Structure 1
């Protein structure tokens, strides 16, 4: 369809270093300016010439823009940035719940449901951001600083177009289109010329030949030139078909006469043919399409023809579960989805919003420590050593591990953890919890006001001699020698265990409250 709409090949205007590529459709003309400018300067240039920076509100406009860029391929602009009329104004915030993410078109209508972002734009409320495209990115939208320079494209809307003037005899025509300040040169040939174009016609090809003007005007929705004939008509149909679009007939003494094929009629210039408007007084409810043999009815998008091929009825898209599990609201010719909380509308569909990444800077979505996204929602979690606040699940409170007495002796609570320590003359064991005697310190037993000190004192007075307590020595013989050796052994073992017992009693009493 877009190939049918593109009615003109590119033409370039060389004015120093300025190069302009122009493409016209039946409704508008697009100009690609191969001169890098700031966004504001580019927008002003388009407005001063009667247009605006180009928009991309639907797929058709994208294809039109692509055609202009491809036509300028000889200038190697594959990687070049081109401004389009989409910007986020200063003091306006990026809004990821919208298709345009808070950006707005610089010409009306400023909003649209269509979007073509390459990636999410920068989240800001204090900087003006402007959008550019490039062929290498497939015309995806990229936001950037408006202070950068780039090529730009203007769009000029027109009610209609006129075909170029066909001279019947040698002559010259110069066109002044509404959006250019200088006439087109002979090498700048347009397949269609916009409404309001001024044509300066010179017959005969000499400077003193007769000249006159003609303007492309709207005559009852049919666009044509104000002058009916251009220079003298050929006397023969053999040269350029007498200037006729369709059939040419030679008449005696009156030059040639033009006629049109069936289904067409002869326009006021007596040479051009236009498709007959068979849709006049048609019964079509919505749209009538003229054909060579009659007409056919069509319906606007979102409607379909009934069995009578004349009337149109609305298509209920909601019956096709277009919105999935979200609420669908049917409208005449269209529909819209009402997304559940935690989802947003993207290209007519509801998509999950990742609050953990997109809205982390907003108070209502910020987690103090960890954030976990889920379909339509999110949840906060706390790191080890912390617990969620009972009043606000987004906040984390330190856990006092010392309450559960994890240490053998002294416990010190820290943020997210704890630390154990020991009293004097003891050090922390390798497990970080238990206490063991400090091998570099000598154990001293102090008097206690209670019976523990008395008990330890008496315990220290236990005999630890290595021989019998009597002075009578039995006769020395083998039997007595063996008995004495056995007694000494028992006495030594007894002394060893008494020392061990004293140490155990001391340690036990040391930690008693």
Structure 2
């Protein structure tokens, strides 16, 4: 059982070359490493093998990476994250005025005008940030922590490439590329092999068969395999004889190769290369060699005219490139004129955050193309709406029970002697540090003052009503104020009663004195004959008649 598992594991590793998928083009080789590592470890692994983390400085490099990933689609990497060689070093700030937003490539050239961001990277100056891509996001760039783990892809540049070896009879070929420690698996069919690749050829397919070694090398600017004459003997039948295009079998001379029109036979006598059909071409801008000749192309910002030779400017402004902002077309390009509240960043209009420019005295809210100011609690905006905040005098609304002091943005309550501010910061309560005094309770005092207000004060023939006292409040926060007002009224009433009482006493003594004096005079006049009246005991009516008679007799006498 263990032997079966080992064999299955061996087949799996051989198909992926220890978790590595390799693709090569005419320019470079790419290796996709299906082992998640941190950014630093992935970059170090590429460098140790003679390469660098892949870059994406233009559309061609993007397409090369996309092709390499699609070739490894069987490994189910659609949603996998993949490091590329783009990084923001620590103590370097994000700069949104640049295409790369302050990031730099890990290989030369460090800068580029091409960018493919999925969204704006994190704005920071203190953290190292690294960039990753995935097929699910269309290879858009996303920044993240360099401590995260992801797959990675290395890029290897070489002087030239060789085509695969074609055997004329049964045999095996094992390729050892310079950047891998193990030979490629037979399942990995590369379109090109880099300079320095070692190929082991075994003819006949058996261990006793003849073996040869060949190397992809430079031969006066042309790259091909060495010792081609020592390869396995050719068959009697042509079977294309290893030729790229056409194979001809001649008597006694074996086979010979020829190329299609527009191509020429290279020095290895089997490979065909495209002739430079663009020499003296009529193309206005670019010429692209093809199998049948050439075709014309135009630079970015232009498109090919109907004559397939000339180039016509593309009016990007018709495509609403600048959105709602003004657009000015130029030959091969354009530029935007931003509305107020926006600024031009990397050819696009982005909102200006006015709140970072300290336009407001206190609070600030940014919006697209504008901003608004607001004031903190305890302040109000000035009348001219200049962003200045004015303090509100809260004491006008009398929030305190006793004394109020206005402060900047708030207020403070205070109390008179023997009282302190309560925990709510508004009411006044007795000071617990003062000694208690034997004074009437506030309820008795208020009841007494109420009755005193209801009773008139009468002095002689005049009734005087004291001025109304402050009504007692049931609210505990107003009892002190009511009591103090009533006490002052009571003092005024008592102060008025005492002088009036003295006057009444004096007047009473004076009236009694006058009355006694007038009584004595009347008595003296009435008893000139030394007689005095004695009550007769008669009733009032009889007494009155007798008195009248007596007076009549006196008059007659």
TM-score (norm 1): 0.68
Residue 462 (structure 2) pairs with residue 463 (structure 1): no
1:400 paired to 2:393 = yes
SS of equivalent residue, structure 2 residue 45: helix
Q: In the alignment, what sits opposite 2:210? A: 209
- 1:411–1:421 CA contact under 8 A, matched in 2: yes
State the Cα distance separating 1:92 from its structure 2 match: 0.8
Which residue of structure 2 lines up, in the alignment, with residue 194 of structure 1?
194
The answer to whether the Cα contact below 8 Å between 1:297 and 1:310 also exists between their aligned partners in 2 is yes
Question: For residues 202-281 of structure 1, what are the structure 2 equivalents within 5 Å?
Answer: 209=210, 211-217=212-218, 224-225=224-225, 231=231, 234-237=234-237, 240-281=239-280
Pairwise CA distance, 1:20: 0.8
Correspondences of 1:359-370 after superposition (within 5 Å): 364-365=357-358, 369-370=362-363
Question: 2:132 corresponds to which residue?
Answer: 132
Deviations 1:385-405 (A, max 9, x none): 214689x97775643343687
Give the corresponding residue for 1:481.
none
TM-fit CA distance, 1:408: 9.6
State the Cα deviation string for residues 416-439 of structure 1 (Å, max 9, x = none). 44467887999x9xxx9999xx96
Q: Which structure exhibits the higher relative contact order, with contacts defined as CA atoms closer than 8 Å and separated by 6 or more residues?
A: 1
Q: Which residue of 2 aligns with 1:282?
A: 281
RMSD: 5.0
| Partners of 1:99 and 1:349 in 2: CA distance | 11
**How far is 1:166 from its partner?**
0.7
Asked whether the equivalents of residues 15 and 185 of structure 2 are also in contact (C-alpha less than 8 Å), the reply is no
Query: Which among 368, 376, 380 is matched to residue 373 of structure 2?
Result: 380
Rg (Cα) greater in structure = 2
Contact 2:20/2:31 (CA < 8 Å) preserved in 1? yes
Alpha-carbon distance change, 72 to 275 in structure 1, aligned in 2, over 3 angstroms = closer
Write the mapping of 1:319-398 to structure 2, written as runs, cut at 5 A.
Answer: 322-323=321-322, 333-337=332-336, 342-343=341-342, 348-354=347-353, 364-365=357-358, 369-387=362-380, 396=389, 398=391
Residues 51-90 of structure 1: pairs in structure 2 closer than 5 A: 51-58=51-58, 60-77=60-77, 80-90=80-90
Partner SS for 2:457: coil
Deviates most, 198-207 or 118-127: 198-207
Alignment CA distance shift 1:144-1:371 (3 Å) = same
Higher-helix-fraction structure: 2
Q: Which secondary structure does the structure 1 equivalent of 2:445 belong to? A: coil
Q: Is the contact between residue 201 and residue 214 of structure 1 (CA under 8 Å) also seen in structure 2?
A: no
- Aligned partner of residue 47 in structure 1, secondary structure: helix
Distance 1:442 1:509, change over 3 A: closer
Q: Deviations over 1:23-45 (max 9, x none)?
A: 22333322111233332222122
Q: Distance in 2 between matches of 1:341 and 1:194?
A: 55
Structure 1 residue 381, shift from structure 2 partner: 1.6
Q: Which moved more, 1:333-342 or 1:373-382?
A: 333-342
Provide, for residues 268-302 of structure 1, a one-character-per-residue CA deviation record: whole Å limited to 9, x for no partner: 33333344432233233432223444322222222
- What secondary structure, in the 3-state scheme, does the structure 2 residue paired with 1:463 have? strand
In structure 2, how many angstroms separate the alpha carbons of the residues matched to 1:97 and 1:52?
Answer: 27
Secondary structure at the aligned position of 1:55 is classed as coil
Query: How far apart are 1:354 and its partner, in Å?
Result: 4.8
Note the C-alpha offset of 1:91. 0.8
1:156 aligns with 2:149: no
> Structure 2, unaligned stretches of length 5 or more?
1-10, 429-440, 472-481, 490-557
What's 1:453 paired with?
Answer: none
Cα deviation code 1:200-241 (max 9, x no counterpart): 545566667363524254866x75445665625634345x33
In the other structure, the counterpart of 2:445 is 442
Q: Does 1:93 align with 2:118?
A: no
What do the CA deviations read for 1:34-83 (whole angstroms, capped 9, x no partner)? 23333222212212323211223455544543444454455454554332
Distance 1:462 1:384, change over 3 A: same
In the aligned structure 1, how far is the partner of 2:243 from the partner of 2:470? Answer: 128
Cα gap change, 1:172 to 1:104, in 2 (>3 Å)? same
Structure 2 partner of 1:302: 301
Give, in whole Å, the separation in 1 of the partners of 2:267 and 2:253: 18
Are positions 1:40 and 2:35 aligned together? no
Q: Distance in 2 between matches of 1:254 and 1:170?
A: 21
Q: Residue 277 of structure 1: SS of its match in structure 2? A: coil
Unaligned runs of 5+ in 1: 1-10, 357-361, 447-456, 471-490
User: How many residues were matched structurally?
Assistant: 449
Contact 2:336/2:344 (CA < 8 Å) preserved in 1? yes
Q: Give the match for residue 25 of structure 2.
A: 25
